[in-house]
Structure 1
Amino acid sequence: MDAVMDRTEIVLWVRHASGRWSARTLWVVVVDGEAYVRSAFGRRGAWYRRVLRHAETEVAVGGVRLPVRLLPVGDPELVRRVSDAYRVKYGLAWPGPVESMNGSEAAATTMRLAQAGQVPQLPA
Structure 2
Amino acid sequence: MNAWTDDELRRVGGAEELQLASRRGDGTLRPYVTMWVVRAGDELYVRSAYGPDNPWYRRAKATGTGRIHAGGVERDVTFSAAEPGVHAGIDAAYHAKYDRYGPAIVGSVVGAKAVPVTIRLVPAS
Question: What TM-score range do you get, normalising by the shorter chain?
Answer: 0.7 to 0.9
Residue 48 in structure 1 maps to residue 57 in structure 2: yes
Moved over 3 A (4+): 16-20, 61-65
Report 1:1-124 matches (<5 A): 1=4, 2=8, 3-17=11-25, 19=28, 21-61=30-70, 65-75=74-84, 77-117=85-125
* Alpha-carbon distance between aligned partners in 2 of 1:111 and 1:55, rounded to the nearest angstrom: 10
* CA deviation profile, 1:46-74 (whole Å, cap 9, x unmatched): 11111211243101236664211111114
Task: Tell me how many residue pairs correspond in the alignment.
Answer: 116
Q: What SS does structure 1 have at the residue aligned with 2:57?
A: helix
Unaligned runs of 5+ in 1: 118-124
Query: For residues 8 and 108 of structure 1, do their structure 2 counterparts lie closer, same or farther at Cα, with a shift above 3 Å needed?
Result: same
AA of the residue aligned to 2:76: P
Q: What SS does structure 2 have at the residue aligned with 1:16?
A: coil
Question: Identity, % of aligned pairs?
Answer: 31
* Alpha-carbon distance between aligned partners in 2 of 1:100 and 1:64, rounded to the nearest angstrom: 26
Unaligned runs of 5+ in 2: none
Q: Please provide the CA RMSD for this pair.
A: 2.1
Query: For residues 62 and 92 of structure 1, do their structure 2 counterparts lie closer, same or farther at Cα, with a shift above 3 Å needed?
Result: closer
Length-normalised TM-score, structure 1: 0.79
* Alpha-carbon distance between aligned partners in 1 of 2:83 and 2:99, rounded to the nearest angstrom: 24
